[in-house]
Structure 1
Amino acid sequence: MVEDLDVQMVASRLQASIGLFVRRLRQPAPGELTLPEVSALTRLEQPGPATASALARAEQITPQAMGVTLAGLEERGLVERRRDPGDGRRVVMSATQAGLRALHDRRTARAEHLEKALTAGGFTAAELETLMAAAPLIERLSQSL
C-alpha cells in the first residue's frame, strides 16, 4: 500500500539509482559525440536550423559555450552555417546529413550498449519485465518534475 511506503525513501533511492544510470549512459566512447554535441544536433534536427544564440538560450548555456560546441561540429562537417534567408545579416546553423547520421549512430550505439548491459547483467525474464513495466512510470515521473 502507498501509505506503508516511505515516499522520501523512494525518492532518495530513485535519485541515487537513476543518477548513476544517467551518468554511466552519458559517458561517451572514444570518438563518440559528447553530450553538448548531441544536444546541439538534436535541436538542429527538430525543429531545424537555428542561430547559435537561439541554441544557447534553448540549452541554457552561454553563447560562447555553444559557439565552441558548434565550431567543433562544423570542423567535423556535422553542421553548416548559412545566411538566414529572412535576414541576410544573421547566420543560421543546420545539421548536415553527416551530422544527422552521427546523431542516429550515437542513439543506436547507446541502445546497443544498454542492450548488452541487460544481457550481460544476468537479468532474469521477470526482472526484464519489471524494468519494462517501470519505464513508463519513470517517464511519467520525469514529466512531473
Structure 2
Amino acid sequence: MNARDDLNRSTATAIHVAVGMVKRRTREAVADGELTAPELSALAQIERSGSTTVADLARQQQITPQAMGSTVASLEKHGLVTRAPDPDDRRRSLLSVSGAGSDALHSGRNALSDRMAVALADAFTDDEVAVLAAAAPLLERLAQHI
C-alpha cells in the first residue's frame, strides 16, 4: 500500500465510525411528529432533484423501491410530498415537495436539526462549523459512490 491508500483507508474508517455514531444518536433523538432520518433524506433529495419517481428516488438513496415506497407514503400522509401523473408516462407518478414539505425542510421546525444547530453553536468554533459545512456535500457524494 502507498501513502494515499493508507490515508484513504484511515479516512474511510474514521468517517464510518463517526457517521455510525451520528446515526445512532439521531435515531435515539427523534421525537413524535419529527421527520425520521430516511424521511428527511428523501424529502431533501426530492427537493434537490425536482420531480422524481419513487424508483429514481430509491436508486439515489440506494434502498429498495419498497422501502422508499413506505417512506414516501409517510411523507404523503403528512402532506409533505405530492404525486402527479408523469406527462411522459401516465403509468408513473412524479413526486414533488409540497409547500408544507418545503416549510418542514427550511423553517427550522425539525427539532433534531435544531438540536444539532445548538450543539454546533455550543461546542464548535466558527472555523470548525465551516469545515463541517464544506464536508457535508462531500459526504453526500461519498455516499452516492459507495
Indicate whether the TM-score tops 0.5.
Answer: yes
In structure 2, runs of 5+ residues without a counterpart are 1-5
1:3 alignment counterpart: none
2:80 alignment counterpart: 78
1:135 alignment counterpart: 132
Map 1:54-69 → 2, pairs under 5 A: 54-69=56-71
How many residue pairs match? The answer is 135
2:3 alignment counterpart: none
Distance 2:133 2:89 in 1: 43
Aligned-residue RMSD, C-alpha: 3.5
1:24 alignment counterpart: 25
1:79, distance to aligned residue in structure 2 (A):
1.1
1:42 alignment counterpart: 44
In structure 1, runs of 5+ residues without a counterpart are 1-5
1:73, distance to aligned residue in structure 2 (A):
1.0
Q: Is the 8 A contact 2:120 2:129 kept in 1?
A: no
The two structures have a TM-score, normalised by structure 2, of: 0.68
**Deviation per residue, 1:32-51 (Å, 9 max, x gap):** 10111112111211221111
The two structures have a TM-score, normalised by structure 1, of: 0.68
Distance 2:85 2:71 in 1: 19
